[in-house]
Amino acid sequence: MYQRDQLYIDGKWTTPTGTDTLTIKNSATQEPIGVVTLGTSVDVERAVESAANAQPAWAALSPDERAGYLSAVSEQLSARMTELVDLFCQEVGIIRPQAEAFQGLAASLYSSYGERAKRFEWTQQLDNSTLAFEPIGVVGAITPWNFPLLLMSIKVAPALAAGNTVVLKPAEIAPLTGYLLAEAIDAAGLPPGVFNLVIGTGAEAGEALVTDPLVDMISFVGSTAVGKRISALASETVKRVSLELGGKSALVALEDADLEAAIRAGMDSVTTANGQGCACLTRVIVPRGQLEAAVGLAEKYLAGIKVGDPQEAGTTVGPMASEAHRKRVEGYIETGISEGARVVGGGPGLPDGIDAGNFVRPTVFVVDDSKATIAQEEIFGPVQVIIPHDGEADAIRIANDSVYGLAGAVYGADVVRAERVARALRTGKVDINGITFDPDAPFGGYRQSGNGKMYGDKGFEEFLEIKTLSKLS
C-alpha cells in the first residue's frame, strides 16, 4: 500500500504543514491502496513561491535544453509503465488495455512537446513589428481524477516546454499518480522549483492556488460548476484561465447513415473509460423511422458487455472511480426512470454476478424529449440516451439543445451533407463517420464546455504570451 506523507516542493520532498489524511481505495474492491497526507494553503504558498523563483532561469534555457529535460521525463515514465498502468486500473477502474494506451500517450507528451518547442517560431515578423512569444510565468494546474496522468501531462508538458514553471494540484479522489509523476520529474533532474506537487482539497489547496497573486495562469480540467468557481476567483487577480469542462456530446445519425456503425460508436464512447470522460458521446440522435432498429442494436451491444475486474482479461467495463461517483451515476439512472424514460437495458443496482465494488449497470434509455434530465446533464458513466429526430434540421436542433459544446459526431453516407451538419453543431470537435484522435489537432469546447485548447500547437500556445515590438522603419 502506498504511504504518501510528503509533498514535492522546490525540488525536494517535504512534510506538509497539515496533518489531515485521506485513504485512497481500489475502485473495484473498495480496499485501501494508499494513504496521503493533505497539504494546506500554506503549502500552496510555498510551492508557488518556489515556482516563481525558478521561472526566470527555466525560461532563459534554450528550447533545446528544456526539451532534453522533458525527454528524460518521458523516459522515466516509460520505465515505470507497469506501475502506472496498475495504479490507473486501481484508482479509477479503467480496464487494462485502455489504461496501457492512455498511460503510453501521457508519457509521450513530454518528449513531443519538447520537440514542438524546438521547432516553434518564437519570433514572427510583420511589416513593422516583431511578435515575441514568451512564457506566461507560473502556471497552476488543477486536474481531475478520470485520466490522472494524461490530464496532468497535457497541462504540465506544454507549460514546461514553453518556459513556465508549474504547481500541480491533482484531484484528491485519485492523487497517487501525481506522486509517480513527481518522482519521474525528480529523477529526470529538472531544476528545483520548476515543478511542484501539492495534494489537497479543492476548497483549500485549489482555491489558494487560484487566488495566489504570483500565479499567472490557471489551467483546469473538470466540472463546469468548479470551472465557474475558478473563473470567479481568478478574476480577482485577472490571471489567464484555461478551462476544459463538462460535456453532453451528441452523435447524429442521418437517414442514410450506417446505423450499426453509428450505434456501435455511441456505445463504445460511453463504455470507454467506463463512461467517465467529458467527451463521451452520451446522446445518440437517430431518425425516428429507424428508432426500433437502433434500440435493437443497442440491446445487442449491451449483451456483449462484460462488467468486472478492470485488470481481468475480457472485461469491457470496470467500476466507477469512487463510491460517491457510483451513487451519482445511479441517481441519474433512477431519475431517468422516474421521469418516464424507456429503459432499453440496464437500470439501477449492481450488475449480475457482482456483489461489491463501485459498479453500475451499463444502461441505455430512449427519450422523446431533449429537455429530459438525462438528456441535458452530464452523467459521467456508462449511460446512453437515444433520441429520435425528424430530419436534418430537427437533428441539429436536438444536438445543439445543450449548455455544453465539447465534442460530437455525424454519421451519413453523403459526406458533403454530413460535413454540413457537422459544421452546424455548436461544439469544439466533430467526428464524421468514425471516431478519431489526432494529437496534433486542438481540442476544446464551446459555451459551458470551457475555453482554451489542448493538444497540438494551439495547446502549446495556450501557455505563451505575445509581446509586440514595433519600430519605425
**CA angle in degrees (0–180, nearest 5) for 283-244-265:** 30
d(CA 43, CA 55): 18
DSSP structure class, residue 409: E
Listed residue (214, 219, 195, 241) closest to 52, CA to CA: 214
The active-site residue out of 49, 91, 172, 278 is 278
Q: How many residues does the chain have?
A: 473
Strand 7-9 versus strand 2-4 pairing type: unpaired
Give the long-range contacts of residues 221-227, CB within 8 A, separation 24 or more: 221/142, 221/143, 221/144, 221/151, 221/155, 221/245, 221/278, 222/142, 222/143, 222/144, 222/171, 223/144, 223/378, 224/378, 224/403, 224/404, 224/448, 224/449, 224/450, 226/202, 227/450
Distance of CA 217 to the CA centre of its chain: 18
**Inter-axis angle of helices 259-271 and 291-303, nearest 10:** 50
Residue type (1 letter), 258: D
* 254 vs 42: CA distance, rounded Å: 55
Query: How many angstroms from the chain centroid is the CA of residue 364?
Result: 24
- Catalytic position from the list 49, 172, 207, 244: 244
CA distance 214 to 333: 44
Q: Is 278 a catalytic residue?
A: yes
Q: Which residues are marked as active site?
A: 244, 278
